[in-house]
Amino acid sequence: MAAEILAASSPRRPPFGQRFLLGRAERRNLAMGLLFISPWIVGFVAFLLYPFIYTIRIGFTQYSGFGDPLWIGLENYRQLFRDDLFWKSLYNTLFYTGLAIPVGVVVAMGLALAMNQPVPEVPIYRAILYLPSVIPAFALSFIFLTLLDPARGIFNQALMAVGLPNINWFGDPRYSKLALVILAQFGAGQAALIFLAGLKGIPPTLYEASMLDGAGTWRKFWNITLPMMTPVILYDLILGLSTGIQIFTQIFVIFGNDPPGAPANSTLAYVPYLYNNGFRYGQMGYAAAMAWVLFLITLVLAFFIFRSSNRWVHYDTD
Amino acid sequence: MARAIAVQTPRTSTASGARSSSVRKRFRSQVLPRIVLILMCAIFILPFYWMLTTALKSNDEIGAYPPTLWPHDLRWANFKDAVEVFPFWSFLRNTATITALTVLGAAISNPIVAYGFSRIAWPGRDKVFFLVLATVFVPFPVLIIALFDIFARLGWINTFLPLVVPLFFGNAFWIFLMRQFFMRIPQEVSDAARLDGANELQILFKIIMPQSWPALSAVCLFAGLHAWNDFLGPLIFLQDETKYTLAIGLTFFESQSQYDIRFNLLMAASALIVLPVIVVFLMFQRVFVEGVTLGSMK
Amino acid sequence: MGNSNETPYRLIDHASRRRTNRRRFLQGAAGLGAAAIAGARVIVPVAAQEGDAVVFWTTFTDPDLAILKGMVETYNGQTQSAKVELVQIPPAEVTDTSKLMTAVRGGTGPDVYHLDRFVVAQRAADGVLQDLSEFEGGATFLDNHIAFARSEATYDGKPFALPFDTDARALYYNRTLLMEAGIDIAALDPANGPATWDAVKQMANALNQKGPDGNYTRMGFIPWLNQGWHYTYGFSWGGEFFDQAACEVTPDNAQVVAAFQWVYDYCKELGPQQVSAFGSPSMQPGFPPQQHPFITGTLGMQITGDWMINQLRTYAPEMDYGITFIPVPTAGNESATWAGGWSMAMPQGAKQPEAAFQFMQWMSGEPGQRIYTKESAHLPTWEALLEDKTLFEERHRFFSEQLLPIAKNRPPLPVGAKYWDELTAAWQAVYLNEAEPQEALTAVKERVQSQLGRFCPVTIEG
């Protein structure tokens, strides 16, 4: 049974040659499909297409946001690759994302399994585990500042009480990115709910069947739960990629913007740097160029995740 | 932690070992999960606990060293003072309006679009879907300028429309979320319905949606929470006090010159803002769980 | 049917074989885009505010906001021209520029904007602000203001803002704490002139205390805390940050490097990370002021601004403290400090420019600044008001009489914000001993100069 689930379901689509000649059913499907996604198409054309094209265009100009953009061709892109803060911010961002995504998946899965325990008062636990996700970011960051204060924060007092070193989470360049990753985990309740919904959707019959095979807890998790959760994990990876690469608000609220990336550029992330170029330094063209470079990088990463997902994501359970 | 998944299925055991096995089973199903849960909750409740106790502290006590875990005097007046820093009730009304419309838009548009991307096989579908996903990888700040130009041309600035209307056309992430859940439902279910003469809308609302309540309620929750706490959108598109939202109000506790903030009042206001969300979440859980039972009755 | 297990990967994988389709799609998209751009060429300004009110955006919060409200009321009660409508916008320093920029572009901006004077040159260069010399009396209005404020409000020889208030930095010290540690505080009496940095260091060392875990529990002085900025030290060492003749930023100027070096060495002796653990939390936005080490009495001295007088009154009313000059490198040197402050600016697209300018003059002029100085205990830039002793209580007089006449200002460059950010990152790297002063400051110069070049030549008033 488990093996059957693990085996990638075989593709059931006609070979490519045939697909160019749309049959009647296919034409009907195309029309129907487009009809269903038409709200998105309308929204895309109305609200996104122009901003996209506009920013691509000003990426080739020198532009403060006012007056006439000055066409400078590829100069912004050339300057970008010579800008060591661009590289620094890219490095910081990839470092953060590379750490935050896997940690986030594991924590979210752990929370979801905990939220799925069959004890009667579990709604209360769920609410508590979800609680940090509903506190406004603006307030949450202040709370962490005082909790993680090396001199008087109770979190650090607790660390020291069990013999761990006192860490200056937000003031020490060696730990500041790590602190952001830890902080992000308090918002894992959001992803955990999606995972929980995924867990709830696993047909109990699968477990019952494996029970007859005498599978242990771990094997059931590995052979049934995890494969069944892969569509949700894929979602979480893409979500984590997008939010990780575009980390913005948390950094502003915790480290301020005076300058962005304190201490000593150790948390200078890509989008805050882009934002400052556009809105603080009067370099909107440069910011736009940065945006499209980041877009391409993320797209490539997303593409590889999707490409690999073909091997490990399992839809359709029959 | 995965062990709990098995607990509801009866385990066959020999008669002699039944007693000790049932004790062990009880421990594993009732006691152990609680220990783990309570430990986790102890960590996750900390920010909220800190927010609530700080909200009740006096100015002096915030400076106390070592920090007090429970306020000496519960200063309930902080809540009264906090709602006077900005027009709390009118901001609350604005936020609630935006949130309600956002949830409505998200609940209508995302399932429909997600259906088109998962339950109907049309040529080029997944390529277009990748395009949908790609849109979320363009950093939002760089789009602000051009978006503002569009909304200014439409005359929508300083109204709720820029914050609400786009949600009625689907959001890439929530489309993706619903799609992932739709795709787990066996295709045969749809095929059978089609043979019975059901059209696509009927299949969506009669067959697919009843199995997708958890996903839809999650989308509604996320959409609502996003609208409730969003800062950048209201900041850019709203222009006076009659339209501002609670997330903007929170910034008014900070002084325009650095290093001064009314911390206890900020926490009091934050607690008031979080409160309705907790209530909604507890209600949401019922839909979530009931939806799940509906969904699993195949 | 049965395509539910299909993933985007497969289609992308085969995308090359279906080039025709893709090209057609791209053509379609480009067509739409071209239409979008063509349509957007003419951005029609939208009438945001009905009626004729002058709309004034401020990022101020209470208690200063309340004072502004009162001032606007007073003005509205006596003006013959359009009334003013005060709108509070979120004070987040990071975001106000995006809000202003989008609104002005979209034609829904304010008539008057409260702008940190230090970014006036940058915004003027960006093209956001209106040249005020075009208004009646606009060319000479600044003459009544103190020199550094005039300089900051001017770009390219033209006035782009009217100064509103100012501030200045000084050394604050906790008299009780120092005396209890047996320190002779006579050197910190302003009557004896400025102390030397090394004297301050000696006093500070007598106060430093560590707990059993090796962390500081009390410190004498943290050079970089609060207003101990790069500019504070650079000016103190007599450094110059801009060379007008060469149109070059000069963060690598020998005096600035020497100033950074002193701080580098100071922190090195005490352990840069331990110093940071003690001081850095209070530098983060939103740190509760009640827990600031100076306010809790665990820090002996700090450099901060005149606004600290009010903060101490609120949070540490009992503290016995003194205020003196920023120290000097060698005895006999002139002490240096610097000042900033706010201003009133008029964005492009203001719908009531004439009435707006009248209001700006009132706020920035004698009547407005008199009210604001009196009620907020901030310092005025209107020169005549500085003479009026009734406006300042005793502690403020040190600032208005001793410090403002010697105050410098950050060079008002069109790349001022970038320069500040770069200097600060280098500053942090230096006081954390992550980088040597010379290399850090040379890198700052390279990056800032590459952006300044296109504005050259840049002339600075005064």
What is the overall mean pLDDT for chain A?
86
Please tell me the predicted confidence (pLDDT) of residue B257.
63
The SS3 assignment for A66 reads: coil
Q: Indicate whether C79 and C115 sit together in one domain.
A: yes
Assess if residue A72 is contained within a domain: no
Of A133-137, A208-212, C139-143, give the lowest mean pLDDT range. Answer: A208-212
Assess if residue A31 is contained within a domain: no
Q: How confident is the model at residue A141 (pLDDT cuts 50, 70, 90)?
A: confident
Please tell me the predicted confidence (pLDDT) of residue C41.
34
Assess if residue A60 is contained within a domain: no
The DSSP line for C208-256 is -EE-TTS-EEEEEE-TTSTT--HHHHHHHTT--SEETTTTEE-TT-HHH
What is the overall mean pLDDT for chain B?
85
Assess if residue A140 is contained within a domain: yes
Q: Indicate whether C213 and C129 sit together in one domain.
A: no
Residues 125-164 of B with CB under 8 A from C: 125-127, 129-130, 133, 141, 144-145, 148-149, 151-153, 155, 157-158
C420 CB-side CA count, 13 A: 21
3-state secondary structure B129-152: HHHHHHHHHCCHHHHHHHHHHHHH
DSSP state, B256?
A: S
% of chain B at pLDDT higher than 70? 89
Please tell me the predicted confidence (pLDDT) of residue C92.
61
Q: Residue C397 sits in a domain of what CATH number?
A: 3.40.190.10
C424 Cβ contact list (under 8 Å, min separation 6): A258, A259, A262, C229, C230
**Counted domains in chain C:** 2
Assess if residue C393 is contained within a domain: yes
Please tell me the predicted confidence (pLDDT) of residue C382.
95
Q: Is the pLDDT of residue A72 over 90?
A: yes
Assess if residue A296 is contained within a domain: yes
Of A127-141, A183-197, C13-27, C344-358, give the lowest mean pLDDT range. Answer: C13-27
Please state, in angstroms and rounded to a whole number, the distance separating the CA atoms of residues C236 and C256: 9
Q: Is the pLDDT of residue B202 over 50?
A: yes
Per-residue pLDDT of C316-348, as tens digits, reads: 999 999 999 999 999 999 999 999 999 999 999
Tell whether A66 is within 8 A of chain B (Cβ).
Answer: no
Q: How confident is the model at residue C436 (pLDDT cuts 50, 70, 90)?
A: very high
Q: Which domains does chain B have, with CATH numbers?
A: 2-62 (no CATH), 80-296 (1.10.3720.10)
Q: Indicate whether C302 and C444 sit together in one domain.
A: yes
Strand partners, C322: C173
Assess if residue A206 is contained within a domain: yes
Of A77-86, A146-155, C194-203, give the lowest mean pLDDT range. Answer: A146-155
B228-242 average pLDDT score: 90
% of chain C at pLDDT higher than 70? 88
Of A274-288, B26-40, C262-276, give the lowest mean pLDDT range. Answer: B26-40
Assess if residue C292 is contained within a domain: yes
Please tell me the predicted confidence (pLDDT) of residue C198.
96
Please tell me the predicted confidence (pLDDT) of residue A87.
96
For A47, the closest chain B residue by CA position comes to: B147
B195-201 average pLDDT score: 91
Q: Is the pLDDT of residue A291 over 70?
A: yes
Question: Could you list the residue range(s) of the whole structural domain that residue A256 is in?
Answer: 84-312
Assess if residue C422 is contained within a domain: yes
C149-158 average pLDDT score: 94
Tell whether A313 is within 8 A of chain C (Cβ).
Answer: yes
% of chain B at pLDDT higher than 90? 54
Q: How many CB pairs under 8 A join B and C?
A: 143
Please state, in angstroms and rounded to a whole number, the distance separating the CA atoms of residues A214 and C180: 76
Q: Indicate whether C230 and C287 sit together in one domain.
A: yes
A40-55 average pLDDT score: 94
Nearest CB partner across the interface for B148, out of C1, C59, C105: C105
Per-residue pLDDT of A220-231, as tens digits, reads: 888 889 998 999
B26-30 average pLDDT score: 77
Q: How confident is the model at residue C261 (pLDDT cuts 50, 70, 90)?
A: very high
Assess if residue A317 is contained within a domain: no
Q: Which two tokens stand for residue B36?
A: 């783990």
Q: Residue A297 sits in a domain of what CATH number?
A: 1.10.3720.10
Q: Indicate whether C92 and C220 sit together in one domain.
A: no
Residues 441-460 of C with CB under 8 A from A: 443, 447, 450-451, 454
For C314, the closest chain B residue by CA position comes to: B59
Q: Is the pLDDT of residue C120 over 90?
A: yes
Question: Could you list the residue range(s) of the whole structural domain that residue C131 is in?
Answer: 54-167+340-408
Assess if residue C89 is contained within a domain: yes
A291 membership: H or E segment, kind and range: helix A284-312
Per-residue pLDDT of A117-127, as tens digits, reads: 888 888 899 99
Q: Indicate whether C243 and C154 sit together in one domain.
A: no
C226-248 average pLDDT score: 95
Tell whether A151 is within 8 A of chain C (Cβ).
Answer: yes
> Counting beta carbons within 10 angstroms of the beta carbon of residue B14, is it exposed (0 to 12), middle (13 to 18) or buried (19 or more)?
exposed
Q: Indicate whether C294 and C422 sit together in one domain.
A: yes
Q: Indicate whether C210 and C192 sit together in one domain.
A: yes
Please tell me the predicted confidence (pLDDT) of residue A213.
75
C379-401 average pLDDT score: 92
Q: How confident is the model at residue B10 (pLDDT cuts 50, 70, 90)?
A: very low
Please tell me the predicted confidence (pLDDT) of residue B284.
82
Q: Indicate whether C287 and C141 sit together in one domain.
A: no
Contact assignment for B256 to C60 by CB distance below 8 Å: yes
pTM (2 d.p.):
0.87
Rounded to two decimals, the ipTM of the complex is: 0.85
Please state, in angstroms and rounded to a whole number, the distance separating the CA atoms of residues A108 and A185: 8
- Decide the pairing of beta strands C158-159 and C154-155: antiparallel
Q: Indicate whether C203 and C149 sit together in one domain.
A: no
Per-residue pLDDT of A166-184, as tens digits, reads: 888 888 889 999 999 998 9
Nearest CB partner across the interface for C91, out of B118, B186, B251: B251
CB C400 within 8 A of CB C392: yes
Per-residue pLDDT of B62-117, as tens digits, reads: 888 778 889 988 999 999 999 998 999 999 999 999 999 999 999 999 999 999 99
Please tell me the predicted confidence (pLDDT) of residue A284.
92
Assess if residue A78 is contained within a domain: no
Residues 163-202 of A with CB under 8 A from B: 186, 189-190, 193-194, 196-201
Please tell me the predicted confidence (pLDDT) of residue A18.
53
More confident: A216 or C71: C71
What is the overall mean pLDDT for chain C?
87
Q: Indicate whether C321 and C355 sit together in one domain.
A: no
**Counted domains in chain A:** 1
Please tell me the predicted confidence (pLDDT) of residue C8.
34
More confident: B124 or B285: B124
Q: Indicate whether C297 and C402 sit together in one domain.
A: no
Please tell me the predicted confidence (pLDDT) of residue C437.
97
Please tell me the predicted confidence (pLDDT) of residue C33.
40
Please tell me the predicted confidence (pLDDT) of residue C14.
35
Please tell me the predicted confidence (pLDDT) of residue B214.
83
